[in-house]
Structure 1
């Protein structure tokens, strides 16, 4: 399990990027397990796993850290 922060999220297209401190990792919004679309925004702390994607690694099984206001 990795930790990171959502650094870019496009609500219209349903994808974004998580920075793990070194790299930006692509993710689809439907990979967020405890998701609520209106709540997904830049700056949220998340835990995630990495899996191979169509164009390289992508974040999967993403959970937004509890207690984020």
Structure 2
């Protein structure tokens, strides 16, 4: 399994220089929300196949109020953030 690390930008799906922008396949990972603090706007996702990943509310792709609940199943990509790997393009899954 290959993970593509991309630099974060305001529009992660269209970030110039990103693997997706260059037309490369971007692997979506699956995981579960370990915890998410709505007041602070961040939390951690437990990966099915690796270490936990930081998630910021701005990476959640839903419309309206961006929040996650403990135990939610999610799909996401991993990008290289200022302090290490973090989740991007996070969507809830069934």
User: TM-score higher than 0.5 here?
Assistant: yes
Q: Does 1:6 align with 2:21?
A: no
* Structure with higher strand content: 1
Greater RCO, 1 or 2 (C-alpha within 8 Å, sep 6+): 1
Q: Residue 35 of structure 1 contacts residue 64 of structure 1 at CA under 8 Å; is this kept in 2? A: no
What are the ranges of 5 or more consecutive residues in structure 1 without an aligned counterpart? none
Larger radius of gyration: 2
What TM-score do the two structures reach when normalised by structure 1? 0.84
Question: Counterparts of 1:28-67 in structure 2 under 5 Å?
Answer: 28-34=56-62, 37=65, 40-66=68-94
Superposed CA RMSD in Å reads 1.8
Query: Which stretches of structure 1, 4 residues or longer, exceed 6 Å deviation after superposition?
Result: none
What are the ranges of 5 or more consecutive residues in structure 2 without an aligned counterpart? 1-27
Q: Residue 42 of structure 2 contacts residue 54 of structure 2 at CA under 8 Å; is this kept in 1? A: yes
Count of residues paired in the alignment = 66
